[in-house]
Structure 1
Amino acid sequence: MSTGTLNKPTYRPSSKFKGACQQIVAGGTAGFVEVSLMQPLDLIKTRFQIQSIHTEQYSSIVDCVKKIYQTEGVLSFYKGILPPILADIPKRATKFFTFEQYKQLFSFGAPSPTAISFTLAGLAAGVTEGFLTNPFEVVKVRLQAENQAFSKQISAWSMAKVIVHENGFGLSGLNKGLTSTLCRHGVFNMILFGFYHTIKVYSKPYQDKKLEFLRKFMIGLTGGSIASCSNIPFDVAKSRIQGPQPTAGHIKYKTCIRTIHTIYVEEGIKALYKGLTPKIMRLGPGGAIMLLVYEYALDWLQKNT
């Protein structure tokens, strides 16, 4: 056998597939951990967003927590958790996997990704995620909007069947508020991924593992907080469109831009930032947790599988 044959690198046709599987598993793990820890804050955020000046129930986060606890019970803070659990494992898996692919695509042949690459990849991955998650969001918001005890609430599956029976699978039913969801996810992930990966690459890492973990967490926390502030008008519009309408039988909130305009005209600019504090409390650390769980899970899988 010739020396050239001996020195020729072995081609492993399964290496790309293996890498994709590792990215998908790590992304799914990140989604499960993040939503499990942050669901109560998501419920509080949604409650603030669906209330208008005509249906205001909660004056502060403390007031909201107190009223939900007293009237609905402690388990009610996990209302609507099944749809995001079912959705977040595949959607986060899809988001991180597609981000890795989009990152290579938007590098345009450069030896390493740039800030623009990270930003465009985050935007594209967020829009992809939005398509997958919207039906689950519709069910989740409907469940979270109900002011009754957790034990009396119908299941997520039953709620999905009610929505389909009443309005079908389209933009009036299980895909209601799709445009708002796409804008929400696109903007959030564009900023989160763009900020996190750019700052992480261009800031000096620590040799100490604890300090390095803290550095990454603070970058993720900052990125998640900025992203939350940037996309919340779309989030409020999504909640209004997908939640119960103010007047039964009349659809007031229909499209994304029209809903934002209606809220602004009737309730002022502050109404477009309803639920901002619980949103930042959820998605600031939540974004950091998600990114770090993904990184560490992927690193472990690459070393042990």
Structure 2
Amino acid sequence: EENITLEAAVSKPPTMTSTAPSKGDYHWLRSFVAGGVAGCCAKTTIAPLDRVKILLQGQSPHYKHLGVFATLLNVPKKEGLLGLYKGNGAMMVRIFPYGAIQFMAFDKYKKLLNTRAGITGHIHRLMAGSMAGMTAVMFTYPLDVVRARLAFQVTGDHRYSGIVNVFQSVYRTEGVSGFYRGLTPTLIGMAPYAGLSFFTFGTLKSLGLKHFPEELGRPSSDNPDVLVLKSHINLLCGGVAGAFAQTVSYPLDVTRRRMQLGSVLPDSDKCGSPIKTMKYVYETYGIRRGLYRGLSLNYIRCVPSQAMAFTTYEFMKQLLHLN
């Protein structure tokens, strides 16, 4: 899932004594807000690219003959400039709790793995990241299905009028299970994606602050004892982490999207289970134009998305005295 990694504090430097008054007061709520705001800012920045990705992954008849950039130019011509943001409202409703839950769950899982299982270091980061990503997905998945259905439809060929209408229509025609179509490949894809994102970013951050604290870091505004990465270094580390994680998990993301779109696709009968769907996509479209179709777009999404997520999250952390 994509998937954002709201993890500006993956590996905290050892000098941690917060100067914030009453740090325990509503700490969970402040964490929730920080993660949610960062997620919304990051996703809004790349919403046009997300719309194009969904259209290409689902092999939309209106755009399937086009590449990434041609689709990006053609959507405004066919549907107006706001066509690039179709489905973004539903995405915001989902991404705020998604980002917030992912960050809070990561923190909790890290502590649990440390105290209950005695697991620390890189493996502890990898495991906590995987579990946090999966937890966030399970809580917000129905909204992702709704968003995918809205983003896939093209002006003049509308099936749904809005978020509520999608909920009603999916429930009426497919039942509760319709909201969880493609959940299995999403969870399977999220485990390596979130785990590798947290692991890669956290490792790069800890190594950078350990070996080059003056060049790469700066004191946090709410707690000078805490070192945080400079914004452009956050961008670089986040971009590398996102690109690496995305490459590994992308075929599962394509599989998930096709399963989510369900009856919207003419070949939905061939997309029943994750293995069946992946096999069908591979046999019909191949690796480059099927399982990895739209991957170049994801690399392009990676840098601005992570830049916004980490920059906003660092700002919110300092604003809400979370360091």
Stretches of structure 2 lacking an aligned partner (at least 5 in a row): 1-21, 219-227
Report the equivalent of 1:62. 69
Counterpart among 38, 41, 55 of residue 30 in structure 1: 38
The answer to whether residue 310 in structure 2 is matched with residue 291 in structure 1 is: yes
1:175 Cα deviation from its structure 2 partner: 1.2
Is 2:206 the partner of 1:198?
no
How far, CA to CA, are the matches of 2:157 and 2:319 in structure 1?
Answer: 38
Pairwise CA distance, 1:258: 2.0
Q: What secondary structure does 1:243 align onto?
A: helix
Greater CA drift, 114-123 or 201-210: 201-210
| Partner in structure 1 of residue 26 of structure 2 | 18
Q: Report the equivalent of 1:94.
A: 101
Shift of 1:301: 0.8
SS of 1:59's partner is coil
**Maintained 8 Å contact 2:259/2:268:** no
Cα RMSD for the two superposed structures: 2.8
Contact 2:36 2:98 (8 Å CA) reproduced: yes
What TM-score does the superposition give when structure 1 sets the normalisation length? 0.85
Q: Is the 8 A contact 1:76 1:150 kept in 2?
A: no
- Structure-2 separation of matches of 1:158 and 1:129: 24
Q: Tell me the equivalent position of 1:162.
A: 169
* CA radius of gyration, larger in: 1
Give the 3 Å change call, closer, same or farther, for CA 134–65 of structure 1 in structure 2.
Answer: same
Q: Secondary structure at the match of 1:251?
A: helix
Counterpart in the other structure of 1:278: 297
Q: Deviations over 1:183-210 (max 9, x none)?
A: 2322221111111111100122335759
- What is aligned with 1:11? none
Written as runs of structure 1 = structure 2, the 5 A alignment for 1:135-146 is 135-146=142-153
Residue 245 (structure 2) aligns with: 227
Contact 1:114 1:198 in 2 (8 A): no
State the secondary structure of the residue aligned to 1:302.
Answer: coil
Alpha-carbon displacement from aligned partner over 1:108-155 (angstroms, at most 9, x marks no partner): 579995111111111000100111222111111111111216999611
Please state whether the residue corresponding to 1:274 is helix, strand or coil: coil
* In structure 2, distance between residues paired with 1:44 and 1:257: 25
Give distance in 2, aligned partners of 1:247 and 1:164: 18
Higher alpha-carbon deviation: 175-184 or 194-203:
175-184
Q: Does 1:123 align with 2:130?
A: yes
Alignment TM-score, normalising by the size of structure 2: 0.80
The question of whether the paired residues in 1 share the 8 Å contact of 2:262 and 2:268 is answered with no
Q: 1:283 to 1:255 in 2, by over 3 A?
A: farther
Cα deviations across residues 217-265 of structure 1 (Å, max 9, x unaligned)? 2001110111121211111001111125586596221122221122112
After superposition, the C-alpha distances for 1:18-53 in whole angstroms (9 at most, x for unaligned) are 32222111111111111111111100111110018x
Q: Residues 295 and 102 from structure 1, CA distance in 2 versus in 1: closer, same or farther, beyond 3 angstroms?
A: farther
Is 2:59 aligned against 1:41?
no
Separation in 2, partners of 1:88, 1:216: 21
**Distance verdict in 2 for CA 1:97–1:138, change over 3 Å:** same
Question: Greater shift after overlay, 158-167 or 109-118?
Answer: 109-118
SS in 1 for 2:201: helix
Identity of aligned residues (%): 27
Which secondary structure does the structure 2 equivalent of 1:57 belong to? coil
Distance 1:127 1:50 in 2: 23
The corresponding residue for 1:265 is 283
Structure 1 residue runs of 5 or longer lacking an equivalent are 1-13
Higher-RCO chain (CA-CA 8 Å, sequence separation at least 6): 2
* Range 63-72 or range 14-23, more displaced: 14-23
Between stretches 205-214 and 154-163, larger displacement belongs to: 205-214
Aligned residue for 1:206, secondary structure, equals: helix
Q: Partner letter of residue 194 of structure 2?
A: N
Residue 213 (str. 1) matches residue 218 (str. 2): no
Letter in 2 for 1:266: T
The answer on whether the counterparts of 1:95 and 1:128 sit within 8 Å (CA) in structure 2 is yes
| Pairwise CA distance, 1:99 | 0.5
Does the aligned pair in 2 maintain the 1:31–1:88 contact within 8 Å?
yes
